[in-house]
């Protein structure tokens, strides 16, 4: 039995060789909500993503009422409202 994943570089597979998703569905400017409480904020706290670190699956989030960003794992975030995405323009 041949695996389709055999041609993928190691960076795109986990330790068992199974392909992993490499993209993030979060983008800078997205409004998000914390799913679980952490030491610096409560669960259900809303904020805006400042930067996304897709390779680490984390983002810098500035939560409402705070001025400093906090590094939060994507598994602890829920998308509330996506930031507007630029439309692709035709060059023809």
Check residue 85 and give its pLDDT: 76
Q: Is residue 75 part of a domain?
A: yes
Question: What's residue 10's pLDDT?
Answer: 41
Query: For the purposes of burial, counting CB atoms within 10 Å of the CB of 9, is it exposed (0-12), middle (13-18) or buried (19 or more)?
Result: exposed
CATH code (residue 54):
2.30.30.140
71: in domain: yes
CB atoms within 10 A of CB 25: 12
* pLDDT confidence bin for 43, thresholds 50/70/90: confident
Q: What is the rounded (10 degree) CA torsion for 7, 13, 18, 21?
A: -110
Structural domains in the chain (count): 1
Residue 74 in this model has a pLDDT that exceeds 90: yes
In a domain, 73, yes or no: yes
pTM for the structure as a whole: 0.65
Examine residue 17 and state whether it is found in any structural domain, yes or no: no
Q: What is the pLDDT of residues 18-34, one digit of tens each?
A: 444 445 689 999 999 99
Show the domain range for 68. Answer: 28-83
Domain assignment present for 10: no
Q: Is 6 inside a domain boundary?
A: no
Q: Does a structural domain hold residue 46?
A: yes
pLDDT score for 13: 41
Residue 7 predicted with pLDDT over 80: no
Which two tokens mark 38? 């952490």
**61 located within any domain:** yes
CA–CA gap between residue 68 and residue 10 (Å, rounded): 36
| pLDDT class of 15 with cuts at 50, 70, 90 | very low
């Amino acid at each position: 039995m041949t695996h389709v994943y055999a041609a993928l570089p190691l960076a795109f597979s986990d330790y068992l060789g199974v392909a992993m998703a490499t993209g993030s569905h979060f983008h800078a400017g997205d409004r998000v909500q914390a799913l679980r409480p952490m030491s610096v904020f409560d669960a259900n706290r809303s904020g805006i993503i400042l930067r996304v670190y897709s390779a680490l699956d984390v983002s810098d989030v500035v939560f409402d009422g705070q001025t400093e960003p906090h590094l939060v794992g994507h598994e602890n975030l829920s998308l509330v409202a996506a930031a507007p995405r630029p439309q692709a323009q035709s060059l023809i």
